[in-house]
Each structure stands twice: as structure tokens, then as C-alpha cells.
Amino acid sequence: MDRITGWVAEHHGIALTDLRAVEAGADRGAELFRGTDGAGSGYAVKWTANESAAGLVIPEALGALAPGTVADVVPTHDGGLWADVGGRRLSVTRWVTGAPALGGPLRREQWTAYGRLLARLHRLPVDDGLQAAVPAERYDPGRWVRAFDDADRAVTGVGPGADDIQHRLAEGWTAGRDRLFEVRDRAVALAGVLRRRADLPAPVPCHADPHLGNVIVTGDTRVVLIDFDDAVLAPPERDLMFVLGGGVLPFAPATTVQQAWFLDGYGGVDPDPQLLTYYRCTRALEDVAELALVALDATLDLPERAENLGYVEGVLGPYGLLAQALSGR
């Protein structure tokens, strides 16, 4: 903690009086802290090995055009968005005070604000700076295909000496394994089709993970989007899949009414079905691969493993992302 506090003071000029580690999400290569200065102002301090700077460049650009929609980046002494220290990237943003959108149902006005926010993000001009800093969609699902294959080998290798969580995961995985491989193969096939298409929508700045867990409600008609670490230049469907069709969270699906409220803010859309299906397939592979490996890991705490098992079961369930990917709608 002391070295992080020292780096923040050295590079950002902020004297933190308190610094505490917080859950950093799925990014195992990042450490996230909540810091407070003597005046009581809060900061999110991230020290990450993520090679992409998109998570800072895009919110900085969006915040300049639409203040109050992202966590404000605190620049370094020389005006940079981050400092390279200890072999990683250190950044500081203002802590967003509000209620997580997953903590309760969003009101109509908040769903509309959420749609308006994503529309503003998708309309950001793609200048040379964004093109240089933000990865572009390549329609290459190889990373998640390999991750799924690794997870499949691990789950199907569960033996008689496994614990209850491992057995339950293996049973559910086995029951859904044919469907999982169908999604795997569909992702690979669609990737080839999309790489050959000449009529794809123009790429726009996308958050790439704008589920309600990354939305903070800051007022009756205001929401803030956080955690842009996976940001990418891609067709809008990359983000819209998190709402259209019910979204990706089986425990918090977007109803048809809520989708309509979202579109009141976003505007009319005619989503490309191949793109939606491709993104749902790759996201399903990503989710089951990462979550299954956590559930299998007997060195982790039981509550964390059980939570991840529940998420896998949700993805495999009748209203989960796997069913959406296979429906093609």
C-alpha cells in the first residue's frame, strides 16, 4: 500500500490519507484501490498490466463531450492519463458516488439515460488518437475458443474424489456440453463469415462490457459508466447485446419494456443478427471458461467458488446467454 500511496503523490500530486484494496473484477492482472485524501475526496487507483490504454483514453474523450457520464481521470503532473511505474500502468480517477445499477431495478428515466450514454459513446469521433490507443475488432475468437477448450478438459477431468461444487459443475457441464460445442463452432464459423463481409457497420468506440454491474446510478435521470478496460473499436452490436434480447446477465435480464426504455435514449436500431449472434457466442465462451475454472479451484474460498458455479449454471440455463446465442435472434 505504501508504494502505491507514494506513487500517487509523486505522479498525481494527491496525498492519500487512506488506501484500501477493492475487488478488481475479472482482470487478474490489475489491482484496484479506493483512496481518500485529507479533504475526504475519493479516488479509484488502478495499477494494471493491461497493455491497452483504451480504458483511459475513451472515458477521457467521452467525459469531455458528456460530463458526468464517466469517472473523471485525474491527470499526472505532466498532463498524462497515467504513469508507468513498477512495470505497470498507474492511473487515478475520481471515485463515483452512487448506487450500483444491479442493486435495484432502474427507473424508466435511468434506462433512458443509460441508452443515451451508450449512444454518445458510439458517436465519439474516431480520431487518430483513438485509433492509435484503442484495439480494433478483428473477428478472431481464438482466445476464447482456446480458453473454452482448456476449461472443457478441466471440467470433464473431474474425478470421483472431487468436492460437491466440482461434481455439480461437471454434471451441469456434461448436460450442456453439446450445446456448448455448438456455440463454439458457431463462433468460429461466424468469424470467418464476418471477416469476408464488405457491408459491416463502421466501427465505433465500444465499452465492450457495459452490463449493469458497470453502471452507477448518480441521480434520478443520471447514470455513469465505469471500467472501460475492454474498450474496442467495433460495430455497435458489441455493446447492444448487453441489452437487446434480454442482455447477458441471466439473474438480471432486461425485460422488453426496459429494452424499449433504453432505446428511447439510444435511438432506433436495426441490429445485424450475425453480429449479435457472434458476440453472444464469444461472450458465452468467455463466461463459462473463466467462471468454470474459478468454481473448480479448490484453493479458493467456498463462497467465491459457489458464486461462480451459479453464474455458469445461469449461462447454461433456459434464459441464459447460451440459449440466446443458439437462438440467432
Q: What is the spatial distance between Cα 263 and Cα 265, in angstroms, rounded to a whole number? A: 5
* CA 254 to chain centroid: 17
Asked if residues 126 and 246 have their Cβ atoms less than 8 Å apart, the reply is no
Taking the alpha carbons at both ends of the chain, their separation in whole angstroms is: 48
Share of the chain above pLDDT 90, in %: 91
As a residue count, the chain comes to 329
Q: Residue 290 pLDDT > 60, yes or no?
A: yes
Confidence check: pLDDT of 329 > 80: no
Bridge partners of 225, per DSSP, are 70, 215
Indicate the SS3 state at residue 11.
helix
Phi and psi angles of residue 42, each rounded to the nearest 5 degrees, phi first? -105, 150
Indicate whether 318 pLDDT > 70. yes
For residue 250, the surrounding DSSP H or E stretch is none
| DSSP code at position 136 | B
Query: Which string of b and e fits 210-240 if b means at least 16 CB within 10 Å?
Result: bbbbbbbbbeeebbbbbbbbbbbbbbbbbbb
Residue 46 in contact with residue 74, Cβ under 8 Å? no
What is the pLDDT averaged over residues 50-62? 93
- pLDDT(29) > 90: no
Neighbours of 108 (CB within 10 A): 14
pTM of the model: 0.94
Residue 251: the pLDDT is 83
pLDDT, tens only, 80-127: 999 999 999 999 999 999 999 998 899 999 999 999 999 999 999 999
How much is the pLDDT for 40? 97
Q: Are 27 and 38 in contact (CB under 8 A)?
A: no
pLDDT digits (tens, 9 = 90+) for 228-277: 999 999 999 999 999 999 998 888 899 999 999 999 999 999 999 999 99
Q: What is the DSSP string of 165-209?
A: HHHHHHHHHHHHHHHHHHHHHHHHHHHHHHHH-S-PPPPEEE-S-
Measure the CA angle with vertex 106, ends 65 and 95; round to 5°: 50
Yes or no: say if 94 and 72 are a contact pair by the CB < 8 Å rule: yes
Mean pLDDT of 58-78: 96
